[in-house]
Amino acid sequence: MPGNPANTGGAGNNRDVDDDYYFAGSYNTVVDGGDYTPVGDVDVNESYFDRALTNGDPNMRWHFNVPRTVGPNDAFTFTVDFYNLNELDPAVESGYDLTFFVDGKQIGEMQPHSEADFSAAQSWDFTLDDLGGTAELGAGFDHYVEVRSTPTGSSRWASLDYAKVDIIAGANQDLIITELSVDPDNNNVTFSFQAKVGLIYAVDRSTTLRSSGEPGGWLEINDSLVAQSEIQSFTDPGAAAGNAKFFYRVRVAEE
């Protein structure tokens, strides 16, 4: 890290390539807590990249800015595929164990990429939270995804066919309450949650976390809250009066 976005390529042992590929963007802010100097502005997508996993050079990274059009409920899938495997002994089952990282944090478990299924692509899912959330959208942030590998059997190298990140709009439907506050003047409780614009939500309240119908159990207090933004707010008037504790849950309203 951070690599050079202006490598010149070439052939043989003296070729000018490295493990870090840069898409056009601006890279001024370290987001993984690392101790390196970001490369700054990259005017065009990089042209040269070390497109192979080898036993002495086992990692690959792809740097990008997250578009501001991405929403908090969007999800991501990273896919990587290799088109050949070179090995010392063809009689030995070989391959690479692959581990995936986003901004230096491991996502999911190790995935074996064995000779038997080498033609199949490998994928990992992650969310905007793994990329720092909405606070780290747009130019400046040095986001990257990384594949780290460990050879198995008699593997020598594996050549990359392609790598891609797909954005799946609205796929992350976890209804997460992001903040909650109580107004001491009127006991109003206000909270926000991640939502999909236009979708209708229901809000339930409880003071005991018991089932509906039991004392203090879950009570539906709104069944037709239409989300106007991806972070939707809701106010429960006077709910804190006389209640030492209270709980809320949000769900997609039944049609």
Overall number of domains in the chain: 2
Same domain for 181 and 108?
no
Average pLDDT over residues 189-214: 87
| Alpha carbon distance 240, 43 (integer Å) | 54
The reported pLDDT for the residue numbered 255 is: 55
Return the SS3 of 237. coil
The reported pLDDT for the residue numbered 115 is: 86
Same domain for 20 and 99?
yes
How many other C-beta atoms lie within 10 A of the C-beta of residue 200?
A: 14
The reported pLDDT for the residue numbered 173 is: 60
The reported pLDDT for the residue numbered 137 is: 94
Measured CA to CA in angstroms, residue 74 lies from 125, 133, 167, 178, 237 at distances of 11, 11, 7, 16, 31
CATH number of the domain encompassing residue 201: 2.60.40
Check whether 242 has a pLDDT greater than 90.
Answer: no
pLDDT single digits (tens) 32-78: 999 999 999 999 999 999 989 999 899 999 999 999 988 877 889 99
Average pLDDT over residues 141-147: 98
Q: What is the Cα Rg of the chain in Å?
A: 24
pLDDT single digits (tens) 78-116: 999 999 899 999 889 999 999 999 999 999 899 998 888
Q: Which residue has the higher pLDDT, 211 or 200?
A: 200
For residue 216, what are the domain limits?
177-252
Is there a domain that residue 196 lies in?
yes
CA atoms within 13 A on the CB side of 31: 26
172 — pLDDT class (breaks 50, 70, 90): low
Is there a domain that residue 195 lies in?
yes
Is there a domain that residue 104 lies in?
yes
The reported pLDDT for the residue numbered 59 is: 96
| Alpha carbon distance 97, 112 (integer Å) | 4
